[in-house]
Amino acid sequence: MTSFKARAVVLLFASFGLPALCAPYIPLSDAEVIEYLPRSTDPSQVEFKALRSRLAASPGDISLALTLARRYITQSRVEGDPRYLGYAQAALVPWYNKADPPTEVRVLRATLLQSTHQFPASLIDLDAVVKADPRNAQAWITRATVLQVMGDYSGATRSCNALREIAPVLITITCLTNVSSLNGQARQSYLRLKSTLDNATDVDPGIRIWVVTLLAEMAGRLGDFSAAEKHFKTALTYDDADSYLLGAYADFLLDHHRAAEVIPLLKDKTRVDALLLRYTLALASTGNRAADQIAVLNARFAAAMLRMDTVHQREQSRFELQLMHRAPSALKLAQRNWAIQKEPADVRVFLEAALAANNKTAAEPVLDWLKKTRLEDQVINALVAQVNASS
C-alpha cells in the first residue's frame, strides 16, 4: 500500500501536465550538443536499473510494477521528459489494457491518460475507481484536476470535498483553493492556502513545491507581483523544482520585461518543448538570434500535428502568434485547444490571438465563459477590455 505522500507526488504530475514527445531533430553541426544524457551513476538511474532488473525477473509482481511506474511518473514531472511516461506504461503492460484492471493500475492509467489530454477516458477510469473505493484519495484528487482543467469547477469542488475525511488538511485545502481561486474567490483562496501552508508541519517537499507554485500563480493573477516573485523564488530553492515551475516563472519574467533572466534559467532545459518556446521568446525579446530555435519548434509542432497530438496546441498557438506572427493560424489553434481545456493560460492565448486577428466574434465563447466563472486575472481583465473596445 503506497503512502499518501508517495501518491501525492503522482498528483503533482497529473496537475501540471507534460510535453508531448518531440520530433526528431537533425543538428546543424557536429559541435552542437543535442542532449545531456543522465549519468549511469545518477541515483535515480541506478534505482531505475535495479527496479527494471527485478521486474524482468518477476514480470507478474504488480507491487514492483506499480513502484517502478510511480517512480517514472515522478521523474517525468521533475525532468519534463515524456519518455518516462512511456516507460511507466510499459511497466504496467500485463494489466494496462484490461477492461477492469486492479485499482492502483487504473489510477495510474487515468493519470497517464490525463497527461496526453485524453480527459474523458481518464474520467471513466477515475469514476470507476471512486465508485469501488470511495476512500481512494489519489483518484479523487486526480479527478478534481481533470475536471478543473476542463472548466467544470463544480465537479472539481465536489471531488475536492471528498478528500476531507481521507487526506491531510493541506492537500484538501490546496485542492479546494486551487479551484475556488479560478471561480470568483481569488483573494480569499490565496489567503486561505497561504495560512494553511504556514501552519502545516512536516510537509513533503514535493507537496510544498506544488503549493508554493500555486500561491505564486494566484498572487500573479491578483496583481501582487512582489508576493508572486517571492513564492516563485522560494519554490526554485527546493530540490524538486520541475519543468512546470520553470515555465511558470519564465512566463512571469517575460511578462515583466525581464527576458534576459529567462535565458540562463532555461538554456539547459530546451529539450522540453514548452521550455524551448519560452527560451526562444526570451532570445527574440533580447535581440539574440533565435532562428535555429524557431526551426526546431516548427519541426516539433509539425510532427505533433501529424500525430494528431493535441497536448501542445496552447504552446503552438503562442508560437504562431508571438514568433511566426501568423494570427489567423494562432487563433485556429487556440480554438481547438479551448475545446479541450480551459485554464487561465488557455483563456489568455485565445484572447491574444483573437485581438491580433481582429476577430472579436471568435472571442465570444471565451468572454461568455469568463462571465460565468468570474475568473480574476489582471492580465486577462485587460485583454477582455481590449476585445470589448475593438470593432
What would the pLDDT profile of 221-249 be if each residue is shown by its tens digit? 999 999 999 999 999 998 767 889 999 99
Total residues found in the chain within this entry: 391
Assess if residue 108 is contained within a domain: no
Residue scoring higher pLDDT (337 or 4): 337
Check pLDDT > 70 for residue 20. no
Assess if residue 25 is contained within a domain: no
- Torsion angle, alpha carbons of 180, 217, 282, 384, to 10: 40
Instruction: Looking at the structure, tell me whether residues 341 and 293 fall in a common domain.
Output: no
Assess if residue 221 is contained within a domain: yes
Domain total of the chain = 3
CA distance 120 to 155: 14
Q: Among 147, 163, 145, which Cα is nearest to 155's?
A: 147
Instruction: Looking at the structure, tell me whether residues 302 and 319 fall in a common domain.
Output: no
Of 212, 241, 270, the one marking the end of a domain is 241
3-state SS, residue 98? coil
Q: What is the mean pLDDT of the chain?
A: 88
Assess if residue 347 is contained within a domain: yes
Instruction: Looking at the structure, tell me whether residues 274 and 338 fall in a common domain.
Output: no
Instruction: Give the pLDDT score at 19.
Output: 36
Q: What pLDDT band is residue 191 in, cutting at 50, 70 and 90?
A: very high
Segment 187-200 shows an average pLDDT of 98
CA distance 338 to 350: 8
Instruction: Give the pLDDT score at 4.
Output: 39
Instruction: Looking at the structure, tell me whether residues 356 and 379 fall in a common domain.
Output: yes
Question: For residue 23, what is the DSSP state?
Answer: P
Check pLDDT > 90 for residue 288. yes
The separation between the first and the last C-alpha atoms of the chain, rounded to the nearest angstrom, is 60
Which residue matches cell numbers 489582471? 378
Instruction: Looking at the structure, tell me whether residues 174 and 198 fall in a common domain.
Output: yes
Assess if residue 209 is contained within a domain: yes
Of 241, 273, 288, the one marking the end of a domain is 241
Lowest model confidence (mean pLDDT) among 23-32, 95-104, 180-189, 351-360: 23-32
C-alpha distances out from residue 91 to 7, 43, 179, 247, 321, Å: 17, 20, 33, 29, 39
Assess if residue 154 is contained within a domain: no
What are φ and ψ of residue 271, in 5° steps? -70, -25
Instruction: Give the pLDDT score at 59.
Output: 85
Of 190, 213, 241, the one marking the end of a domain is 241
Q: C-alpha grid cell for residue 1?
A: 500500500
Instruction: Give the pLDDT score at 310.
Output: 79
Q: How far is CA 303 from the centre of its chain?
A: 21
Q: Answer whether 212's CB lies under 8 Å from 175's CB.
A: no
CA neighbours closer than 13 Å in the CB half-sphere of residue 345: 21
Structure pTM?
A: 0.86
**Parent domain of 374:** 315-390
Residue scoring higher pLDDT (22 or 180): 180
Q: What pLDDT band is residue 24 in, cutting at 50, 70 and 90?
A: very low
Assess if residue 112 is contained within a domain: no
Instruction: Give the pLDDT score at 2.
Output: 35
Q: Give the angle 113-115-121 at the CA atoms, nearest 5°.
A: 25
CA distance 199 to 111: 30
CA distance 77 to 16: 8
Q: What pLDDT band is residue 311 in, cutting at 50, 70 and 90?
A: confident
Residue 356 CB partners (closer than 8 Å, separation 6+): 321, 327, 330, 331
Assess if residue 246 is contained within a domain: no
Instruction: Looking at the structure, tell me whether residues 190 and 174 fall in a common domain.
Output: yes
